[in-house]
Amino acid sequence: MASDFRKTPVRVSCFECPLRQKKHFRPFSADELNFVSHFKRGELNADAGSTVIVEGSHSAHLYTLLEGWAFRYKILEDGRRQILNYVVPGDMVGLQGAVMAEMQHSVEALTPVTLCVFERKRLFQLFEKHSGLAFDLTWLAAREESILDEHLLSVGRRTATERAAYLLAFLFERGRNAGLLDEERRHVPVTQMHVADTLGLSIVHTNKTLRKLSERGLIQWLDRGCEVLDPEGLQNVANWNPGEPKVRPLI
Amino acid sequence: MASDFRKTPVRVSCFECPLRQKKHFRPFSADELNFVSHFKRGELNADAGSTVIVEGSHSAHLYTLLEGWAFRYKILEDGRRQILNYVVPGDMVGLQGAVMAEMQHSVEALTPVTLCVFERKRLFQLFEKHSGLAFDLTWLAAREESILDEHLLSVGRRTATERAAYLLAFLFERGRNAGLLDEERRHVPVTQMHVADTLGLSIVHTNKTLRKLSERGLIQWLDRGCEVLDPEGLQNVANWNPGEPKVRPLI
DNA sequence: CGGACGGTTGATCTCATTCAACCTACGTGG
DNA sequence: CCACGTAGGTTGAATGAGATCAACCGTCCG
Protein backbone atom coordinates (compact mmCIF):
# COMPACT_ATOMS: atom_id res chain seq x y z
CA MET A 1 0.00 0.00 0.00
CA ALA A 2 2.28 2.74 1.21
CA SER A 3 4.87 1.61 -1.24
CA ASP A 4 4.47 3.50 -4.46
CA PHE A 5 6.11 6.70 -3.42
CA ARG A 6 8.36 8.77 -5.49
CA LYS A 7 9.87 11.45 -3.36
CA THR A 8 11.54 13.77 -5.74
CA PRO A 9 13.45 16.97 -5.28
CA VAL A 10 11.48 20.15 -5.89
CA ARG A 11 10.02 19.95 -9.33
CA VAL A 12 7.39 22.65 -9.38
CA SER A 13 9.02 25.76 -8.03
CA CYS A 14 6.84 27.80 -5.70
CA PHE A 15 7.48 30.72 -7.98
CA GLU A 16 5.53 28.97 -10.69
CA CYS A 17 3.12 27.22 -8.37
CA PRO A 18 0.00 26.44 -10.39
CA LEU A 19 -2.20 26.95 -7.35
CA ARG A 20 -1.02 30.44 -6.62
CA GLN A 21 -2.30 31.66 -9.97
CA LYS A 22 -5.89 30.73 -9.15
CA LYS A 23 -8.02 33.51 -7.83
CA HIS A 24 -9.33 31.39 -4.99
CA PHE A 25 -6.02 31.73 -3.16
CA ARG A 26 -4.62 34.83 -1.58
CA PRO A 27 -1.43 36.12 -3.18
CA PHE A 28 1.92 35.93 -1.39
CA SER A 29 4.17 38.86 -0.77
CA ALA A 30 7.55 38.52 -2.46
CA ASP A 31 9.11 37.93 0.93
CA GLU A 32 6.67 35.20 1.85
CA LEU A 33 7.02 33.53 -1.51
CA ASN A 34 10.72 33.47 -1.04
CA PHE A 35 10.43 31.91 2.38
CA VAL A 36 7.94 29.28 1.29
CA SER A 37 10.09 28.27 -1.64
CA HIS A 38 12.85 27.48 0.85
CA PHE A 39 10.46 25.91 3.30
CA LYS A 40 9.45 23.42 0.64
CA ARG A 41 11.90 20.56 0.55
CA GLY A 42 10.51 18.36 -2.17
CA GLU A 43 7.52 16.69 -3.60
CA LEU A 44 5.80 13.44 -2.82
CA ASN A 45 3.93 11.52 -5.46
CA ALA A 46 1.59 8.72 -4.55
CA ASP A 47 -0.79 6.49 -6.46
CA ALA A 48 -4.51 6.29 -5.84
CA GLY A 49 -5.21 4.11 -2.84
CA SER A 50 -1.83 4.55 -1.20
CA THR A 51 -1.53 5.65 2.40
CA VAL A 52 0.35 8.92 2.64
CA ILE A 53 0.30 9.37 6.40
CA VAL A 54 -0.20 6.65 9.00
CA GLU A 55 -1.92 7.20 12.33
CA GLY A 56 0.55 7.04 15.19
CA SER A 57 3.54 8.09 13.13
CA HIS A 58 5.93 10.85 14.13
CA SER A 59 6.61 12.41 10.80
CA ALA A 60 9.36 14.94 10.32
CA HIS A 61 7.28 16.50 7.59
CA LEU A 62 4.11 18.30 6.88
CA TYR A 63 2.45 18.61 3.52
CA THR A 64 0.31 20.70 1.29
CA LEU A 65 -1.66 18.89 -1.34
CA LEU A 66 -0.66 20.23 -4.73
CA GLU A 67 -2.67 17.98 -6.99
CA GLY A 68 -5.40 15.36 -6.70
CA TRP A 69 -7.89 14.23 -4.08
CA ALA A 70 -7.19 12.57 -0.71
CA PHE A 71 -8.95 11.93 2.58
CA ARG A 72 -8.22 11.74 6.29
CA TYR A 73 -9.62 8.85 8.36
CA LYS A 74 -9.47 6.92 11.60
CA ILE A 75 -10.16 3.26 12.25
CA LEU A 76 -11.23 1.33 15.33
CA GLU A 77 -9.42 -1.86 16.24
CA ASP A 78 -12.04 -4.07 14.65
CA GLY A 79 -11.77 -2.24 11.35
CA ARG A 80 -14.68 0.16 11.50
CA ARG A 81 -13.53 3.20 9.57
CA GLN A 82 -14.61 6.81 9.76
CA ILE A 83 -13.58 9.26 7.08
CA LEU A 84 -13.04 12.61 8.76
CA ASN A 85 -12.56 14.99 5.88
CA TYR A 86 -11.37 15.26 2.31
CA VAL A 87 -8.19 16.95 1.16
CA VAL A 88 -8.07 19.08 -1.98
CA PRO A 89 -5.24 21.15 -3.48
CA GLY A 90 -4.16 23.90 -1.13
CA ASP A 91 -5.08 21.96 2.00
CA MET A 92 -2.40 21.23 4.53
CA VAL A 93 -2.05 17.83 6.18
CA GLY A 94 0.19 16.72 8.99
CA LEU A 95 0.00 19.85 11.07
CA GLN A 96 -1.19 17.80 14.03
CA GLY A 97 1.95 15.74 13.91
CA ALA A 98 3.99 18.88 13.64
CA VAL A 99 2.61 20.81 16.58
CA MET A 100 1.64 17.91 18.81
CA ALA A 101 3.41 14.64 19.29
CA GLU A 102 2.08 12.23 16.73
CA MET A 103 -0.54 11.87 14.05
CA GLN A 104 -3.98 10.90 15.30
CA HIS A 105 -5.31 9.96 11.89
CA SER A 106 -4.22 8.51 8.54
CA VAL A 107 -4.34 10.04 5.08
CA GLU A 108 -5.00 8.12 1.88
CA ALA A 109 -4.95 9.21 -1.75
CA LEU A 110 -8.19 8.98 -3.72
CA THR A 111 -6.50 9.76 -7.01
CA PRO A 112 -2.83 10.00 -7.92
CA VAL A 113 -1.59 12.91 -5.80
CA THR A 114 1.33 15.28 -5.53
CA LEU A 115 2.17 16.84 -2.21
CA CYS A 116 4.61 19.59 -1.33
CA VAL A 117 6.85 18.44 1.49
CA PHE A 118 7.85 20.81 4.25
CA GLU A 119 10.22 20.24 7.09
CA ARG A 120 8.66 20.29 10.48
CA LYS A 121 11.81 21.69 12.05
CA ARG A 122 11.50 24.88 10.09
CA LEU A 123 8.00 25.53 11.24
CA PHE A 124 9.18 27.68 14.11
CA GLN A 125 11.00 29.93 11.65
CA LEU A 126 7.72 30.47 9.92
CA PHE A 127 6.19 31.58 13.19
CA GLU A 128 9.14 33.78 14.08
CA LYS A 129 9.73 35.56 10.83
CA HIS A 130 6.46 35.43 8.92
CA SER A 131 3.56 36.29 11.14
CA GLY A 132 1.34 36.57 8.09
CA LEU A 133 1.95 32.94 7.21
CA ALA A 134 1.57 31.96 10.84
CA PHE A 135 -1.80 33.61 10.82
CA ASP A 136 -2.66 31.73 7.64
CA LEU A 137 -1.78 28.47 9.31
CA THR A 138 -4.16 29.30 12.13
CA TRP A 139 -6.75 30.32 9.58
CA LEU A 140 -6.47 26.94 7.90
CA ALA A 141 -6.78 25.14 11.22
CA ALA A 142 -9.85 27.17 12.17
CA ARG A 143 -11.42 26.40 8.83
CA GLU A 144 -10.78 22.69 9.16
CA GLU A 145 -12.42 22.93 12.55
CA SER A 146 -15.54 24.55 11.16
CA ILE A 147 -15.79 21.88 8.47
CA LEU A 148 -15.54 19.17 11.09
CA ASP A 149 -18.27 20.92 13.06
CA GLU A 150 -20.56 20.72 10.07
CA HIS A 151 -19.71 17.07 9.48
CA LEU A 152 -20.45 16.29 13.08
CA LEU A 153 -23.81 18.01 12.82
CA SER A 154 -24.44 15.98 9.71
CA VAL A 155 -23.51 12.57 11.07
CA GLY A 156 -25.14 13.26 14.41
CA ARG A 157 -28.39 14.88 13.41
CA ARG A 158 -29.16 14.68 9.72
CA THR A 159 -31.11 11.82 8.12
CA ALA A 160 -29.37 9.48 5.68
CA THR A 161 -30.69 11.35 2.65
CA GLU A 162 -29.77 14.73 4.07
CA ARG A 163 -26.31 13.49 4.93
CA ALA A 164 -25.66 12.13 1.50
CA ALA A 165 -26.93 15.31 -0.13
CA TYR A 166 -24.78 17.41 2.18
CA LEU A 167 -21.66 15.39 1.50
CA LEU A 168 -21.98 15.52 -2.26
CA ALA A 169 -22.79 19.23 -2.25
CA PHE A 170 -19.82 19.76 0.04
CA LEU A 171 -17.43 17.75 -2.11
CA PHE A 172 -18.62 19.48 -5.22
CA GLU A 173 -18.09 22.88 -3.65
CA ARG A 174 -14.63 22.03 -2.41
CA GLY A 175 -13.62 20.48 -5.68
CA ARG A 176 -14.87 23.46 -7.60
CA ASN A 177 -13.05 25.97 -5.42
CA ALA A 178 -9.85 24.00 -5.67
CA GLY A 179 -10.10 23.92 -9.44
CA LEU A 180 -10.63 20.16 -9.62
CA LEU A 181 -14.14 20.46 -11.00
CA ASP A 182 -15.76 22.69 -13.57
CA GLU A 183 -18.49 22.59 -16.18
CA GLU A 184 -16.71 19.83 -18.05
CA ARG A 185 -15.15 17.81 -15.26
CA ARG A 186 -17.83 17.23 -12.66
CA HIS A 187 -16.58 13.86 -11.51
CA VAL A 188 -16.08 13.44 -7.76
CA PRO A 189 -13.75 10.42 -7.42
CA VAL A 190 -15.25 8.52 -4.49
CA THR A 191 -16.70 5.03 -4.20
CA GLN A 192 -19.91 4.32 -2.34
CA MET A 193 -17.70 2.79 0.33
CA HIS A 194 -16.10 6.17 0.90
CA VAL A 195 -19.49 7.82 1.12
CA ALA A 196 -20.66 5.18 3.60
CA ASP A 197 -17.59 5.61 5.79
CA THR A 198 -17.97 9.37 5.75
CA LEU A 199 -21.64 9.36 6.65
CA GLY A 200 -21.51 6.61 9.24
CA LEU A 201 -23.83 4.38 7.24
CA SER A 202 -23.63 0.83 5.93
CA ILE A 203 -22.73 0.39 2.32
CA VAL A 204 -26.08 -1.17 1.42
CA HIS A 205 -28.06 1.65 2.86
CA THR A 206 -25.73 4.16 1.27
CA ASN A 207 -26.38 2.55 -2.09
CA LYS A 208 -30.13 2.81 -1.65
CA THR A 209 -29.90 6.39 -0.48
CA LEU A 210 -27.72 7.46 -3.40
CA ARG A 211 -30.12 5.75 -5.73
CA LYS A 212 -32.91 7.97 -4.47
CA LEU A 213 -30.83 11.05 -5.11
CA SER A 214 -30.17 9.79 -8.63
CA GLU A 215 -33.86 9.22 -9.23
CA ARG A 216 -34.54 12.78 -8.19
CA GLY A 217 -32.07 13.92 -10.81
CA LEU A 218 -29.67 15.48 -8.35
CA ILE A 219 -26.70 13.26 -9.10
CA GLN A 220 -25.59 10.54 -11.42
CA TRP A 221 -23.48 7.67 -10.23
CA LEU A 222 -20.72 6.42 -12.49
CA ASP A 223 -17.80 4.10 -12.29
CA ARG A 224 -15.89 4.99 -9.12
CA GLY A 225 -17.49 8.29 -8.64
CA CYS A 226 -20.35 10.64 -8.83
CA GLU A 227 -21.40 13.45 -11.07
CA VAL A 228 -23.19 16.28 -9.33
CA LEU A 229 -25.99 17.45 -11.58
CA ASP A 230 -27.76 19.88 -9.29
CA PRO A 231 -25.59 21.29 -6.52
CA GLU A 232 -28.24 23.69 -5.30
CA GLY A 233 -30.83 20.94 -5.23
CA LEU A 234 -28.52 18.95 -2.98
CA GLN A 235 -27.97 21.95 -0.75
CA ASN A 236 -31.72 22.33 -0.37
CA VAL A 237 -32.22 18.70 0.52
CA ALA A 238 -29.47 18.94 3.12
CA ASN A 239 -30.56 22.34 4.36
CA TRP A 240 -26.98 23.49 4.05
CA ASN A 241 -25.39 26.35 2.25
CA PRO A 242 -21.70 26.77 1.70
CA GLY A 243 -21.52 30.52 2.18
CA GLU A 244 -19.63 32.89 -0.02
CA PRO A 245 -16.48 31.31 -1.37
CA LYS A 246 -13.77 33.36 0.30
CA VAL A 247 -10.25 33.94 -0.79
CA ARG A 248 -8.18 31.52 1.22
CA PRO A 249 -4.55 31.35 2.22
CA LEU A 250 -2.11 28.82 0.87
CA ILE A 251 1.18 27.69 2.24
CA MET B 1 -31.10 33.79 27.42
CA ALA B 2 -28.15 35.91 26.53
CA SER B 3 -29.18 38.41 29.14
CA ASP B 4 -27.46 37.69 32.40
CA PHE B 5 -24.07 39.05 31.56
CA ARG B 6 -21.87 41.06 33.78
CA LYS B 7 -18.96 42.32 31.80
CA THR B 8 -16.56 43.64 34.33
CA PRO B 9 -13.15 45.23 34.04
CA VAL B 10 -10.23 42.91 34.66
CA ARG B 11 -10.66 41.39 38.06
CA VAL B 12 -8.25 38.50 38.11
CA SER B 13 -4.94 39.84 36.87
CA CYS B 14 -3.09 37.53 34.55
CA PHE B 15 -0.17 37.78 36.95
CA GLU B 16 -2.22 35.95 39.53
CA CYS B 17 -4.12 33.80 37.08
CA PRO B 18 -5.25 30.71 38.97
CA LEU B 19 -4.88 28.55 35.87
CA ARG B 20 -1.27 29.41 35.27
CA GLN B 21 -0.29 27.89 38.60
CA LYS B 22 -1.54 24.45 37.62
CA LYS B 23 1.07 22.11 36.32
CA HIS B 24 -1.10 21.08 33.40
CA PHE B 25 -0.38 24.40 31.67
CA ARG B 26 2.89 25.50 30.23
CA PRO B 27 4.45 28.49 31.98
CA PHE B 28 4.64 31.90 30.31
CA SER B 29 7.81 33.86 29.85
CA ALA B 30 7.78 37.23 31.63
CA ASP B 31 7.44 38.90 28.28
CA GLU B 32 4.51 36.79 27.21
CA LEU B 33 2.80 37.22 30.54
CA ASN B 34 3.11 40.92 30.17
CA PHE B 35 1.64 40.88 26.70
CA VAL B 36 -1.25 38.66 27.64
CA SER B 37 -2.12 40.82 30.61
CA HIS B 38 -2.55 43.71 28.18
CA PHE B 39 -4.30 41.57 25.61
CA LYS B 40 -6.96 40.74 28.16
CA ARG B 41 -9.55 43.49 28.22
CA GLY B 42 -11.97 42.26 30.83
CA GLU B 43 -13.99 39.39 32.14
CA LEU B 44 -17.37 38.07 31.21
CA ASN B 45 -19.55 36.32 33.73
CA ALA B 46 -22.54 34.29 32.65
CA ASP B 47 -25.07 32.09 34.41
CA ALA B 48 -25.62 28.44 33.69
CA GLY B 49 -27.75 28.04 30.60
CA SER B 50 -26.93 31.41 29.09
CA THR B 51 -25.69 31.71 25.53
CA VAL B 52 -22.24 33.25 25.45
CA ILE B 53 -21.68 33.28 21.70
CA VAL B 54 -24.35 33.12 19.01
CA GLU B 55 -23.89 31.45 15.64
CA GLY B 56 -23.69 34.00 12.86
CA SER B 57 -22.40 36.81 15.04
CA HIS B 58 -19.38 38.92 14.18
CA SER B 59 -17.86 39.33 17.58
CA ALA B 60 -15.09 41.81 18.22
CA HIS B 61 -13.84 39.50 20.94
CA LEU B 62 -12.40 36.15 21.61
CA TYR B 63 -12.35 34.37 24.92
CA THR B 64 -10.57 31.96 27.16
CA LEU B 65 -12.67 30.11 29.66
CA LEU B 66 -11.34 30.87 33.12
CA GLU B 67 -13.86 29.05 35.25
CA GLY B 68 -16.74 26.59 34.79
CA TRP B 69 -18.03 24.31 32.05
CA ALA B 70 -19.50 25.28 28.67
CA PHE B 71 -20.20 23.69 25.31
CA ARG B 72 -20.22 24.54 21.62
CA TYR B 73 -23.15 23.51 19.43
CA LYS B 74 -24.96 23.95 16.13
CA ILE B 75 -28.65 23.66 15.36
CA LEU B 76 -30.58 22.87 12.18
CA GLU B 77 -33.53 25.03 11.24
CA ASP B 78 -36.07 22.61 12.68
CA GLY B 79 -34.33 22.58 16.05
CA ARG B 80 -32.21 19.45 15.87
CA ARG B 81 -29.14 20.23 17.93
CA GLN B 82 -25.64 18.78 17.81
CA ILE B 83 -23.19 19.48 20.59
CA LEU B 84 -19.75 19.73 19.03
CA ASN B 85 -17.43 19.88 22.00
CA TYR B 86 -17.16 20.93 25.60
CA VAL B 87 -15.18 23.88 26.90
CA VAL B 88 -13.14 23.71 30.09
CA PRO B 89 -10.85 26.25 31.76
CA GLY B 90 -7.93 27.12 29.52
CA ASP B 91 -9.86 26.50 26.31
CA MET B 92 -10.23 29.29 23.84
CA VAL B 93 -13.52 30.05 22.11
CA GLY B 94 -14.33 32.47 19.34
CA LEU B 95 -11.14 32.00 17.34
CA GLN B 96 -13.21 31.11 14.29
CA GLY B 97 -14.94 34.45 14.44
CA ALA B 98 -11.61 36.13 14.88
CA VAL B 99 -9.74 34.64 11.95
CA MET B 100 -12.65 34.04 9.61
CA ALA B 101 -15.70 36.17 9.06
CA GLU B 102 -18.32 35.00 11.51
CA MET B 103 -19.04 32.38 14.11
CA GLN B 104 -20.32 29.08 12.74
CA HIS B 105 -21.50 27.77 16.07
CA SER B 106 -22.93 28.90 19.40
CA VAL B 107 -21.53 28.54 22.90
CA GLU B 108 -23.60 27.98 26.03
CA ALA B 109 -22.64 27.82 29.68
CA LEU B 110 -23.25 24.55 31.54
CA THR B 111 -22.41 26.07 34.90
CA PRO B 112 -21.82 29.66 35.92
CA VAL B 113 -18.75 30.67 33.94
CA THR B 114 -16.08 33.34 33.84
CA LEU B 115 -14.33 34.11 30.58
CA CYS B 116 -11.32 36.29 29.88
CA VAL B 117 -12.15 38.70 27.08
CA PHE B 118 -9.58 39.52 24.42
CA GLU B 119 -9.82 42.02 21.65
CA ARG B 120 -9.83 40.55 18.21
CA LYS B 121 -8.06 43.60 16.78
CA ARG B 122 -5.00 42.91 18.85
CA LEU B 123 -4.66 39.38 17.60
CA PHE B 124 -2.33 40.42 14.84
CA GLN B 125 0.02 41.94 17.41
CA LEU B 126 0.18 38.56 19.04
CA PHE B 127 1.22 37.01 15.76
CA GLU B 128 3.74 39.74 15.04
CA LYS B 129 5.46 40.05 18.35
CA HIS B 130 4.94 36.76 20.15
CA SER B 131 5.56 33.85 17.86
CA GLY B 132 5.53 31.53 20.86
CA LEU B 133 1.96 32.48 21.63
CA ALA B 134 1.05 32.31 17.97
CA PHE B 135 2.36 28.77 17.94
CA ASP B 136 0.30 28.03 21.03
CA LEU B 137 -2.80 29.29 19.29
CA THR B 138 -2.13 26.92 16.43
CA TRP B 139 -1.46 24.16 18.93
CA LEU B 140 -4.84 24.74 20.52
CA ALA B 141 -6.56 24.73 17.14
CA ALA B 142 -4.83 21.49 16.14
CA ARG B 143 -5.86 19.92 19.41
CA GLU B 144 -9.48 20.94 18.99
CA GLU B 145 -9.30 19.38 15.58
CA SER B 146 -8.06 16.08 16.90
CA ILE B 147 -10.82 16.02 19.51
CA LEU B 148 -13.41 16.63 16.81
CA ASP B 149 -11.89 13.81 14.80
CA GLU B 150 -12.41 11.44 17.70
CA HIS B 151 -15.98 12.66 18.23
CA LEU B 152 -16.70 12.11 14.59
CA LEU B 153 -15.35 8.58 14.79
CA SER B 154 -17.54 8.06 17.80
CA VAL B 155 -20.78 9.39 16.37
CA GLY B 156 -20.16 7.79 13.00
CA ARG B 157 -18.92 4.36 13.95
CA ARG B 158 -19.32 3.50 17.61
CA THR B 159 -22.43 1.85 19.07
CA ALA B 160 -24.65 3.74 21.50
CA THR B 161 -23.01 2.14 24.53
CA GLU B 162 -19.51 2.73 23.23
CA ARG B 163 -20.35 6.33 22.44
CA ALA B 164 -21.75 7.03 25.87
CA ALA B 165 -18.75 5.40 27.54
CA TYR B 166 -16.39 7.38 25.35
CA LEU B 167 -18.11 10.66 26.08
CA LEU B 168 -18.11 10.23 29.82
CA ALA B 169 -14.51 9.04 29.90
CA PHE B 170 -13.61 12.00 27.72
CA LEU B 171 -15.42 14.53 29.88
CA PHE B 172 -13.92 13.07 33.02
CA GLU B 173 -10.45 13.30 31.54
CA ARG B 174 -10.89 16.87 30.38
CA GLY B 175 -12.42 17.94 33.66
CA ARG B 176 -9.64 16.32 35.62
CA ASN B 177 -6.90 17.94 33.58
CA ALA B 178 -8.55 21.33 33.87
CA GLY B 179 -8.79 20.97 37.63
CA LEU B 180 -12.57 20.82 37.68
CA LEU B 181 -12.67 17.26 38.96
CA ASP B 182 -10.71 15.34 41.53
CA GLU B 183 -11.16 12.56 44.05
CA GLU B 184 -13.79 14.56 45.91
CA ARG B 185 -15.55 16.39 43.11
CA ARG B 186 -16.32 13.89 40.40
CA HIS B 187 -19.50 15.52 39.21
CA VAL B 188 -19.75 16.15 35.45
CA PRO B 189 -22.50 18.78 35.10
CA VAL B 190 -24.47 17.58 32.08
CA THR B 191 -28.08 16.48 31.64
CA GLN B 192 -29.06 13.43 29.65
CA MET B 193 -30.28 15.85 27.02
CA HIS B 194 -26.71 17.13 26.60
CA VAL B 195 -25.42 13.58 26.31
CA ALA B 196 -28.07 12.77 23.72
CA ASP B 197 -27.29 15.84 21.65
CA THR B 198 -23.58 15.07 21.78
CA LEU B 199 -23.93 11.45 20.76
CA GLY B 200 -26.57 11.95 18.10
CA LEU B 201 -29.08 9.78 19.96
CA SER B 202 -32.64 10.30 21.16
CA ILE B 203 -33.11 11.14 24.80
CA VAL B 204 -35.01 7.95 25.53
CA HIS B 205 -32.35 5.73 24.12
CA THR B 206 -29.68 7.76 25.86
CA ASN B 207 -31.46 7.18 29.14
CA LYS B 208 -31.57 3.43 28.57
CA THR B 209 -27.94 3.35 27.53
CA LEU B 210 -26.76 5.31 30.55
CA ARG B 211 -28.77 3.02 32.76
CA LYS B 212 -26.81 0.07 31.46
CA LEU B 213 -23.55 1.81 32.24
CA SER B 214 -24.85 2.49 35.76
CA GLU B 215 -25.80 -1.14 36.23
CA ARG B 216 -22.30 -2.15 35.27
CA GLY B 217 -21.00 0.10 38.01
CA LEU B 218 -19.13 2.41 35.67
CA ILE B 219 -21.06 5.58 36.43
CA GLN B 220 -23.72 6.88 38.73
CA TRP B 221 -26.32 9.31 37.51
CA LEU B 222 -27.35 12.12 39.79
CA ASP B 223 -29.36 15.27 39.63
CA ARG B 224 -28.19 17.15 36.56
CA GLY B 225 -25.06 15.25 36.13
CA CYS B 226 -23.01 12.17 36.29
CA GLU B 227 -20.40 10.76 38.57
CA VAL B 228 -17.70 8.76 36.86
CA LEU B 229 -16.90 5.77 39.05
CA ASP B 230 -14.58 3.82 36.78
CA PRO B 231 -12.87 5.93 34.12
CA GLU B 232 -10.73 3.07 32.89
CA GLY B 233 -13.71 0.79 32.65
CA LEU B 234 -15.39 3.35 30.44
CA GLN B 235 -12.29 3.65 28.30
CA ASN B 236 -12.28 -0.09 27.80
CA VAL B 237 -15.92 -0.19 26.81
CA ALA B 238 -15.31 2.59 24.30
CA ASN B 239 -12.01 1.17 23.12
CA TRP B 240 -10.51 4.62 23.58
CA ASN B 241 -7.55 5.87 25.50
CA PRO B 242 -6.78 9.47 26.17
CA GLY B 243 -3.01 9.24 25.81
CA GLU B 244 -0.51 10.84 28.10
CA PRO B 245 -1.81 14.09 29.52
CA LYS B 246 0.55 16.60 27.99
CA VAL B 247 1.44 20.02 29.23
CA ARG B 248 -0.69 22.38 27.23
CA PRO B 249 -0.46 26.04 26.36
CA LEU B 250 -2.75 28.70 27.73
CA ILE B 251 -3.51 32.13 26.42
C1' DC C 1 -50.54 25.26 43.52
C1' DG C 2 -49.44 24.79 38.82
C1' DG C 3 -45.91 24.37 35.57
C1' DA C 4 -41.34 23.55 33.83
C1' DC C 5 -37.43 20.60 33.90
C1' DG C 6 -35.08 16.28 34.35
C1' DG C 7 -35.42 11.58 34.55
C1' DT C 8 -37.74 6.78 33.80
C1' DT C 9 -40.18 3.02 31.52
C1' DG C 10 -43.01 0.17 28.30
C1' DA C 11 -45.04 -0.40 23.64
C1' DT C 12 -44.71 0.24 18.97
C1' DC C 13 -42.70 1.35 14.75
C1' DT C 14 -39.11 2.42 11.38
C1' DC C 15 -34.79 3.33 9.66
C1' DA C 16 -30.78 1.15 8.89
C1' DT C 17 -27.87 -3.08 9.41
C1' DT C 18 -26.86 -7.62 8.17
C1' DC C 19 -27.09 -11.52 5.27
C1' DA C 20 -27.12 -13.36 0.91
C1' DA C 21 -27.20 -13.26 -3.74
C1' DC C 22 -25.82 -11.70 -8.20
C1' DC C 23 -23.84 -8.66 -11.90
C1' DT C 24 -20.25 -6.09 -14.50
C1' DA C 25 -15.68 -4.49 -15.50
C1' DC C 26 -11.03 -5.25 -15.05
C1' DG C 27 -6.62 -7.32 -14.41
C1' DT C 28 -3.57 -11.40 -13.98
C1' DG C 29 -1.69 -15.73 -14.67
C1' DG C 30 -1.97 -20.26 -16.83
C1' DC D 1 -7.42 -16.68 -25.03
C1' DC D 2 -9.87 -18.19 -21.30
C1' DA D 3 -10.31 -18.79 -16.15
C1' DC D 4 -10.39 -16.83 -12.07
C1' DG D 5 -10.22 -13.40 -8.45
C1' DT D 6 -11.17 -8.85 -6.96
C1' DA D 7 -13.40 -4.36 -6.63
C1' DG D 8 -17.45 -1.80 -7.11
C1' DG D 9 -22.20 -1.69 -7.47
C1' DT D 10 -27.21 -3.55 -6.94
C1' DT D 11 -31.22 -5.81 -4.90
C1' DG D 12 -34.43 -8.41 -1.77
C1' DA D 13 -35.40 -10.38 2.69
C1' DA D 14 -34.67 -10.88 7.59
C1' DT D 15 -33.20 -8.74 11.71
C1' DG D 16 -32.08 -5.32 15.01
C1' DA D 17 -30.78 -0.85 17.03
C1' DG D 18 -32.64 3.10 18.01
C1' DA D 19 -36.67 6.55 17.32
C1' DT D 20 -41.14 7.86 18.48
C1' DC D 21 -45.20 7.87 21.28
C1' DA D 22 -47.19 8.01 25.60
C1' DA D 23 -47.27 7.82 30.23
C1' DC D 24 -45.72 8.90 34.85
C1' DC D 25 -42.65 10.59 38.81
C1' DG D 26 -40.05 13.83 41.70
C1' DT D 27 -38.15 18.37 42.50
C1' DC D 28 -37.74 22.97 42.22
C1' DC D 29 -39.66 27.54 41.71
C1' DG D 30 -42.63 31.60 40.95
- Residue span of the structural domain in which A234 resides: 149-238
> Does B125 map to a domain?
yes
Q: Cα Rg for chain A, rounded, in angstroms?
A: 18
A71 and A109 housed in the same domain: yes
Round to a whole number and report the distance in Å from the CA of B118 to the C1' of D11.
58
B178 and B128 housed in the same domain: no
Contact criterion met (CB < 8 Å) for A153 and B74: yes
Contact criterion met (CB < 8 Å) for A135 and B124: yes
A111 and A35 housed in the same domain: yes
User: At which of B130, B148, B166 does a domain end?
Assistant: B148
pLDDT of amino acid A4: 52
Mean pLDDT of A196-219: 98
B111 and B156 housed in the same domain: no
B69 and B185 housed in the same domain: no
- Answer whether residue B4 shows pLDDT above 60: no
> Which positions on strand D lie below 7 Å from a protein C-beta?
7-13, 17-22
Total count of domains within chain B? 2
> Does A32 map to a domain?
yes
B206 and B127 housed in the same domain: no
Residue-wise pLDDT for B142-195, tens only, equals 999 999 999 999 999 999 999 999 999 999 999 999 999 988 888 999 999 999
> Does A245 map to a domain?
no
Q: Is B24 helix (H, G, I), strand (E, B) or coil?
A: coil
> Does B224 map to a domain?
yes
B128 and B52 housed in the same domain: yes
Choose among A56, A62, A109, A67: nearest CA to A86. Answer: A109
> Does B251 map to a domain?
no
B118 and B221 housed in the same domain: no
Q: Is B11 helix (H, G, I), strand (E, B) or coil?
A: coil
Please report, as a single letter, which amino acid is at residue A174: R
Residue-wise pLDDT for B54-87, tens only, equals 999 998 899 999 999 999 999 999 999 999 999 9
Please give the residue of chain A at the shortest CA–CA distance from B56.
Answer: A243
B132 and B46 housed in the same domain: yes
Task: Give A32→chain B minimum CA distance, Å.
Answer: 14
Which residues in chain A have their CB less than 8 angstroms from residue B199's CB?
A: 156
User: At which of A102, A133, A164 does a domain end?
Assistant: A133
Distance of CA B36 to the CA centre of its chain: 21
Residue-wise pLDDT for A20-41, tens only, equals 999 999 999 999 999 999 999 9
B132 and B60 housed in the same domain: yes
User: At which of B126, B148, B170 does a domain end?
Assistant: B148
Contact criterion met (CB < 8 Å) for B148 and A143: no
B136 and B16 housed in the same domain: yes
A109 and A165 housed in the same domain: no
